[in-house]
Amino acid sequence: MLRPLYDWTMRLASTRNAPAVLAVVSFAESSVFPIPPDPLLVPMVLARRDRAWFFAAISTVASVLGGIVGYAIGALLFDTLGGWLIRVYGLGDSMETFRAAYNQYGALIILLKGFTPIPFKLVTIASGFAGYDLIPFILLSAVTRGARFFLTAALLRAYGDSIRIFIEKRLGLVTAGFLIVVVGGLLAVKFLA
């Protein structure tokens, strides 16, 4: 099951639609979608290492724009959509604690959690809910998301051949590891936030 999906993603990277698909996934992940753009970004950069910076830029810009939508959900729609999304992730009880932490550590929270595999939408919705200033939120989001995506692109551009061989030989292990990191990130938010 994984091999056809991986092969499809590698073929997608060579099409003219690749940037649009990556932008949509990056945008949605920052506001409503639970899967980060890495499963698309990594194969796309591996398939077209000459476009690594372009793909990282698309992921960054789309993620920040999606983050603004997530912020709006938290600020304007928390009682309906925002609260529901937070409860879906099992974090409803910790939102008041998270809101209080923003008064003191907002910039650090955005920078650290935006760089991790924790779904960024949790940070964006919480930022809006906590009333964090929008302009600093946008700037911090650009820094943390840009650092994450450009670091990924740089590593793949530099070591792409060996990384691609490793992924293709151990696709199941890599996928399981990725899922463990994402689920671990969600559990960390639930129990440490």
**H-helix segments, the chain:** 2-13, 18-29, 38-47, 52-76, 83-88, 95-115, 120-130, 134-169, 171-192
pLDDT value at residue 181: 64
Q: Which of 142-146, 178-182, 187-191 has the lowest mean pLDDT?
A: 187-191
| The model's pTM | 0.80
CA nearest to 67, candidates 152, 180, 143: 143
- The answer on pLDDT for 121 being more than 60 is yes
Q: Which residue has the higher pLDDT, 82 or 108?
A: 108
Sign of the Cα torsion 100, 120, 77, 193 reads negative
CA nearest to 33, candidates 66, 65, 5, 55: 66
Task: Answer for the pair 67, 30: CB distance below 8 angstroms, yes or no.
Answer: yes
Q: How many residues does the chain have?
A: 193
**CB-based contacts of 38, cutoff 8 Å, min separation 6:** 117, 152, 178
Domain count, the chain: 1
Q: How confident is the model at residue 1 (pLDDT cuts 50, 70, 90)?
A: low
Sign of the Cα torsion 143, 177, 190, 91 reads positive
Can you tell me the distance from the alpha carbon of 186 to that of 101, in angstroms, rounded to the nearest whole number? Answer: 18
Can you tell me the distance from the alpha carbon of 16 to that of 22, in angstroms, rounded to the nearest whole number? Answer: 11
The alpha-carbon radius of gyration of the chain (Å, integer) is 17
Tell me the per-residue pLDDT of 22-67, one tens digit each, with 9 for 90 and over. 999 999 999 888 778 888 888 889 888 899 999 999 999 999 999 9
Name the residue range of residue 129's domain: 2-192
**Both tokens assigned to 57:** 């830029």
**CB-based contacts of 25, cutoff 8 Å, min separation 6:** 33, 35, 37, 40
**CB-based contacts of 91, cutoff 8 Å, min separation 6:** 98, 122, 189, 190, 193
pLDDT value at residue 137: 96
pLDDT value at residue 97: 72
- The answer on pLDDT for 140 being more than 80 is yes
Tell me the per-residue pLDDT of 96-111, one tens digit each, with 9 for 90 and over. 776 777 778 889 888 8
Residue type, 83: G
